[in-house]
A and B are shown apart, each in its own frame.
Chain A
Amino acid sequence: AQTVTQSQPEMSVQEAETVTLSCTYDTSENNYYLFWYKQPPSRQMILVIRQEAYKQQNATENRFSVNFQKAAKSFSLKISDSQLGDTAMYFCAFTTTQGAQKLVFGQGTRLTINP
């Protein structure tokens, strides 16, 4: 069974700083996708970034980038120039390319950006 682990329940940084959220996963699959979702207090799950396992290049989306280490099964999220609007729960998620393609989520990291 696939599992996703986020070892940082809470993090807090000052506005404009850079912050890195950790995620590790366990799977025997070779082809899969990894995601970071953001969940603000509104409850809406918002896709931040995704990474295909077969791509060696790390995905980037504006201020958001990942460090994907396939051999180590690690998938961290870096937020540069953090903004107050980045305050939210962040979830790491995994899906295979076969079957139901259901998302397997970590427990989440509560990130607070302080002014």
Chain B
Amino acid sequence: GAGVSQSPSNKVTEKGKDVELRCDPISGHTALYWYRQRLGQGLEFLIYFQGNSAPDKSGLPSDRFSAERTGESVSTLTIQRTQQEDSAVYLCASSLRRTSYEQYFGPGTRLTVT
């Protein structure tokens, strides 16, 4: 079946502009995660959605970052007033939860802020 998809694959934006990144999880996966991967680094947790519960936003680095998810479908990560330090790969993952602790990752969006 289809895996996790993300769009766009690459995004170049000017400092100060807003960007929106999209994630389509695997159908039926109730949990959705966003991670950030800076160049040469491991992944950092940003935010977690589980069904209709309140999201865990504990990893968001500033109030310029926000994310939404409607039900168990698509999620969007929005970064307002982008800064150069926001340049990174943003990865989305989904999981069945309660039956498996494995997360399945999308290919990521590479964001470059100039």
Interface residues of chain A, those whose CB is within 8 Å of chain B, are 4, 33, 35, 37, 42-47, 50, 91, 93, 95, 97, 99-108
CB distance from B88 to the nearest CB of A (A): 11
Binds A, one of B21-29, B37-45, B77-85: B37-45
CB distance from B41 to the nearest CB of A (A): 6
Q: In which size bucket is the chain B interface?
A: 20 to 34
Return the CB mask of B9-42 against A: 1 if under 8 Å, else 0.
0000000000000000000000101010000111
Return the CB mask of B39-67 against A: 1 if under 8 Å, else 0.
01111110010100000101100000000
Instruction: Tell whether, in the assembled complex, residue A45 and residue B105 are in contact, meaning their CB atoms are under 8 Å apart.
Output: yes
- Nearest residue, chain A, Cβ from B55: A100
Q: Which residues of A contact B41 (CB under 8 A)?
A: 107-108
Q: How far is the CA of A44 from the CA of B37 in the complex (A)?
A: 12
Q: Which residues of A contact B89 (CB under 8 A)?
A: 43
- Nearest residue, chain A, Cβ from B89: A43
Instruction: Tell whether, in the assembled complex, residue A97 and residue B101 are in contact, meaning their CB atoms are under 8 Å apart.
Output: yes
Given the known A-B contacts A43-B108, A108-B42, are A101 and B102 also in contact in the complex, defined by CB atoms under 8 Å? no
Q: Which of A91, A101, A105 contacts B95 (CB 8 A)?
A: A101
Q: Which residues of B contact A99 (CB under 8 A)?
A: 56
Instruction: Tell whether, in the assembled complex, residue B45 and residue A104 are in contact, meaning their CB atoms are under 8 Å apart.
Output: yes
Instruction: Tell whether, in the assembled complex, residue B42 and residue A42 are in contact, meaning their CB atoms are under 8 Å apart.
Output: no
Return the CB mask of B67-102 against A: 1 if under 8 Å, else 0.
000000000000000000000010101010100011
Q: How far is the CA of A97 from the CA of B95 in the complex (A)?
A: 13
